[in-house]
Every structure is written in C-alpha cells, then in structure tokens.
Chains A and B, each alone.
Chain A
Amino acid sequence: MVFMVSTCLLFAQNNNKQDHSGHNHASHSKTEGDHSGHNHAKGDHSGHNHAKEDHSGHNHAKGDHSGHNHAKGDHSGHNHAKGGHSHDAHTNACGFVFDKSEFNPGAVAFHHISDQNIYSIGPWHFPLPCITYVKGKGLDFFSSGKFNADYHGNGTNAYNGFVLYEGTLRKIENPNFPTGLVDIGHHNVKALGKKNAKGKEIAVVHLCHDGKQLACENKSTLDFGLFGGGLTSFYDFSITKNVFSMLLICFLLGWLFFAIAKKYRNNPNKAPSGAQGFMETMFLFIQDEVCKPFLGHKWEKYTPFIMSLFFFILGLNLFGQVPFFGGSNVTGNLAVTAVLAIIAFFVVNFSGNGDYWKHIFWMPGIPAWVKTIVTPVEFLGIFIKPITLMLRLFGNITAGHMVIVIFVGLIFIFGKNGANVGAAWGTTIASTLLTLFMMAIELLVAFIQAFVFAILTASYIGAATEEHHAH
C-alpha cells in the first residue's frame, strides 16, 4: 500500500484544461486611476476596440463597453465581455474580466473535484507542503500558506515565481520575475483561452502584475498530451490534498488493522467486539466471496493483495463522501486509479503461468485460422483489462461527485446567482433532497466499486494461475 501511495506521488493529473470563467467572484471596487496604465503588453494587439474612446476614464461600473476584444498576439479573438457587462463585472488593470453574474456549472464541477495544493475545510484553507522541481534551478520546498489564498483558492502572493490559481500551483514563465514573496493582490490571476500548437483551445493561466500580463505554466503531467497536459519546465511533487488524504487513509487503516490484530492475538478465544466485529464481517465477506472462489488454489498467497486493494479503495471512496471535509476526490483521480490498475496488471502478468501465456498466444483446441483472429484479441485483452479497471473506478466516483456539485449548482442557475431569491430557496430545498438521495447511492457505489475492483483483479489473477489438465 505504501508502494501504491509513493507511485501515485509520481503521477500528477491534469485538471486544468477548462476555463474557469464562471466562478463567483465578489465584486471588487477599484479606483479609476488604476486603469490609466492600461497596458495590454507587447504592442502586437490588434483588435483592441473599446466602445468608448476615453481610455483614461475606463468606467466599468456602468457596463458601457461592450466589445472588450483585447487580443494579445496569439489570443485570437477571445472576447472577454461575454454578453456585455453587468454591474457585477469587475475588470482589472490588464482587462481580465471577473463577472459575478456568470455561472458555468461544468467548470465549477471540474474545479471542485480536482486536486489542490491547499486543504480547504469550509472557508478555511490549510497550507500543505509544496515540493517543486524546476529544470535548471533544482528542488524548492515551501508551504502553500505563503500564497495567502483567498476564499476561492487564488493566491494573493507570488512566491519564488509560483502563483496559486484555484488551489493549484502555476509557474510564471518569465524568468526575470523576482523570487521570494511578491504581493500580487486580489483578482489578478485568471485562466484565458488560448490556442495551442495543435490549434486546440486550452486555458492558460495569466497573472496581471504591474499592468503586465504574464503567462503561467501548468505543472508537468505524465499523460503524454492525451488530456491536454504534458511535460513543462517544472514538476510538482507536492503533498497535495489527494496525497495527504491517501496518507491519512493509509495511517487510519494501518492503525485499525494493527489494533484489531492485537485484539486477536491477546484474546484468541473471545467473541469479537466493537470495530473488530465490523471489520471481521467485511474481511470474511471478501475472503469467502472474492478470494476463495476467484483466486483458485493459490488464494492464500494473493489474499493480502486483494484485501489491500479493497480496503484502500473503500477507505478513499468513503473519505471522499464526507461532506464539508475538503472533499478529496482521490479514487476519482485518473492518476490514482491508473497506478492501482498498473499494479494489478503487473501482479496478474508476473503470476501468469505457462498455460496463461499459451492461451493468449496459441489457444489450444481451435483451428489454426481461428487462432489468427483470437491471438490479437487476447493480446489486446492483456492491456484492456487494466484500462477498464482504471476507467471504471475513475468514472463511477467522478460521475457521482460531479452530479452532486451540479445539483448544488442548480441553485445558482435557477436563482440567477442571487437575483431571484425565491427561486433560489425553492431550488435549495429540491437540490438538498436530490443531493441526499445521490449521496445514499454514492455510499452504495463506494462499496460496490471497491468490491468490483477486488473481484475483477481476483478473477484475472485466478485465470492467470489456473492449472489446466485436459482439453
């Protein structure tokens, strides 16, 4: 299990593709004088058309500039003024618009299930250690408390060239940015749409500092560009929220099992009591329903592995269900489920006997021409099995979490972000009931998915170690 955690540390999932434009930012009054330095940077912006000619005044409070089309070189036509500005909109010195009246449920859901460098319980943020490796500069170790994140997880400080955007670290690309603590203030980091090399629209976080736009890089991810990530100039090995939750669950499970084992050692002839009774029921259920029937004659050898998988996944599934407690979504993170599936893949294939490989590459008992069809399918099956293990757990847990976030988001959609208080109250009641119902289902799913992962791994191992005597 410790191995699982340490391997998960090496993976970092990218959840940063989407533009989080639709978050509720508190309207932030700024003095008019701030806008005089309206420097859109590098002189190559073409479509900077303001409805009003007067740039020095730049009065955003009245919603009078409709087409704020500032294009910074490669920003081709990213219109920041979606549907005109309401009185809730706030624009900073670089022209980043923070529109309070806009609500994007998809982006909010993605933000709430993603991994973060801070641990948030309600309105409080608890700092977590950040361990970064920058190419050419080496390791850096600091606390995410340095960023002094606002209620939304956006840092109000930059530290050593890093900024915190929605709880995750970003590195300022400009190497001349001063190291150490730099005050960047509120409402100066925002993800802006940008076309990447493949012509795909991606979100790039920008920092507005001293009237200049500075692009920020995402952390490196090992997805080889499949999910919009890839290797960048820095690696994030931080103890993030997910890693912290994993360590916490490992510690809790270890403590629970060692305490129970001690009870069995000290009182071998007594009936189980307390947590011992609960855990014994679950342990025996997995042993009798999963290990003995599916693992075959070598079940005792693989039982510890199946039990580790089951209780690790179950613990994390249940921990992710606790409301208001950081909402860590560990088993709904593709990197974590990928590592679990890779471990299952290695265990299955390293314990496979001669018969297993013979059945894949030269299936006995069928005509030769059928073998030419069966062999590629069986060979692909070796890899498809762990891929489906990975996706099943990820999909089920992520879908459950997202549905809950979207049910809560219904309040903001129907209440028009506070404009319609009556509808907001009505939807609150409805969405509370829906969320409670969904959480009851999720509790069931937490057990079923842990069980399914264990039973499938057990059946794959059982198939790989099965002895065939006659055909």
Chain B
Amino acid sequence: MYAAIGAGLAVIGAGIGIGNVGAKAMEAIARQPEAVGDIRANMILMAALVEGAALIAILLAFFVGQ
C-alpha cells in the first residue's frame, strides 16, 4: 500500500510539472503565434522529460510493492 501512495505522490509531482510546461507553452504561443512549431516540439520534449522522473518513481514503487 505504501508503494501505491508513493506512486500517487510521484504522479502529483509529474502532474504539476507537466501542467507548468503546458501553461508556459500556451503563454508563449499566445505571445508569438508564429513560433508554434518550435514551441510545440520543445513542449512535448520537456513534458516527456518531466514524465521520466515520475516513471522512475513509479518503477521504484513497483519494485518495492512486489
């Protein structure tokens, strides 16, 4: 059960992180609509990197929970 709580905490962190990435990307696109292509690619890259941290936590939670 502790593993599940740990996984949940990791997901909260990743959620905040990805939310920030998305929010800032939207702001940037609103400010400079012509740069939408570059911003989108970098937004997905950054979201994936933030997600990576959460995935490691979930993997650890999984192994502990086993």
Contacts and interface: CB of A to CB of B under 8 A. Distances in A.
Chain B interface helix/strand/loop/mixed: helix
A388 B55 contact: yes
A293 interface: yes
Given A226-B66, A293-B41, A452 B48 contact: yes
A452 B51 CA distance: 11
Interface string B33-66: 0000110010011001001100110110001001
Given A228-B66, A392-B52, A452 B58 contact: no
A392 B41 contact: no
B12 to A, nearest CB: 16
Contacts of B51: 388, 392
Contact of A289 (B41, B52, B59, B66): B41
Contact of B59 (A385, A391, A448, A451): A391
A455 interface: yes
A451 B47 CA distance: 12
A395 B58 contact: yes
A391 B60 CA distance: 12
Contacts of A227: 66
Contacts of A451: 44
Interface centre among A384, A387, A391 (most CB of B within 10 A): A391
B41 A290 contact: yes
A141 B63 CA distance: 36
Interface residues of B, number: 14
Contacts of A395: 55, 58
Contacts of A228: 66
A455 B37 CA distance: 14
A384 B56 contact: yes
Given A388-B55, A448-B44, 12 more contacts: A226-B66, A289-B41, A293-B38, A384-B56, A385-B52, A387-B56, A387-B59, A388-B56, A395-B58, A451-B44, A455-B48, A456-B45
Interface of A: 200, 226-228, 289-290, 293, 384-385, 387-388, 391-392, 395, 448, 451-452, 455-456, 459
25 contacts: A200-B66, A226-B63, A228-B66, A289-B41, A290-B41, A293-B38, A293-B41, A384-B52, A387-B56, A388-B51, A388-B52, A388-B55, A391-B55, A391-B59, A392-B48, A392-B52, A395-B55, A448-B44, A451-B44, A452-B48, A455-B44, A455-B45, A455-B48, A456-B45, A456-B48
Interface of B: 37-38, 41, 44-45, 48, 51-52, 55-56, 58-59, 63, 66
